[in-house]
Amino acid sequence: MKIEQQPKTKEILDKQLRRKNVTFFEIEEKEKGYDSLLSIVLDIINNTMKIPYHKWEIKHVNRMGKISGKVKPVVIIITTTSRRIEILQKKNR
């Protein structure tokens, strides 16, 4: 692979990785760790958005940003792109 192609390849890989990300804003920071944040996100998806979702359909959940007085967004990585699209279609519920 030529050196000129490497930045393009890196951009393509980054885009493919972000394709399954969903960001939630304004979720209160009351969790104690990974498992409690995951259960809060699952509760929002299952009960508020009315989308049946299981724990195994989420690869990773993480709060973004530095510690500050503001509420940080939550980024989740979904197992399939079709499930991500389903969340985005029902995001206004």
For the chain, the domains span 20-89
The percent of the chain in helix, strand and coil, each rounded to the nearest 5, is 45, 15, 40
Q: What's the whole-number average pLDDT of the chain? A: 85
> How far is it, in rounded angstroms, from Cα 3 to Cα 90?
42
For the stretch 19-59, pLDDT in tens is 889 999 988 888 888 999 999 999 999 999 999 999 999 99
Q: Between 90 and 45, whose confidence is greater?
A: 45
pLDDT at 4 over 70: no
pLDDT at 2 over 70: no
In the block, tokens 């079709």 appear at: 82
**Residues, the chain, total?**
93
**Beta strands 58-63 and 21-24: pairing type?**
unpaired
